[in-house]
Structure 1
């Protein structure tokens, strides 16, 4: 995920990442194996963040971004993937650039991501 200082997701100010092979893990909604469980990712967004987007998603055994693959991340304003939330989709299927704050005005503090 990229954090940006403008509303259009074009002025990069930081990032957070989740992986298949180390904590925190990206999940798979098409697999039930233990390796495919999504874990809560702490974001630590810079205070001047105005937007967030998903920079890329890879499948469990892929080394390049899947051409027709997709995924999504749900952002929460609580540290334990709780509270107000919003979902961003990659590469399509919904909004890819999200405001950096919840409806209550809090920066997103955590997220979980899944590959479809």
Structure 2
């Protein structure tokens, strides 16, 4: 194959990769918008930032999806551990911003 044909193929693949990367970024942003809403709900009702049972279910579900997609499940697990770790940290930050304030008692001896 001539160099111009290779360059065209590379360009086509790279454009597709760029489009996929953009989609991933937008999907990740939407995921964080949704998980931030979960964090607000948890903060409002003083629920813990981490739900171990939910995380375990998610990892099991994602392992099946990875297998069905012929994708390395260890890669998916590492990626999602990172994402979920970021979500939990955001939940903790949200909870800290929404901690109940102590009552303002003008007469502390009363």
Question: So what's the TM-score if we normalise by structure 1?
Answer: 0.29
Question: So what's the TM-score if we normalise by structure 2?
Answer: 0.30
Instruction: Please state which structure has a larger fraction of its residues in helix.
Output: 2
Whichever of the two has the greater Rg, that structure is: 2
Q: Which has the higher contact order (CA 8 A, sep 6+)?
A: 2
Instruction: Please state which structure has a larger fraction of its residues in strand.
Output: 1
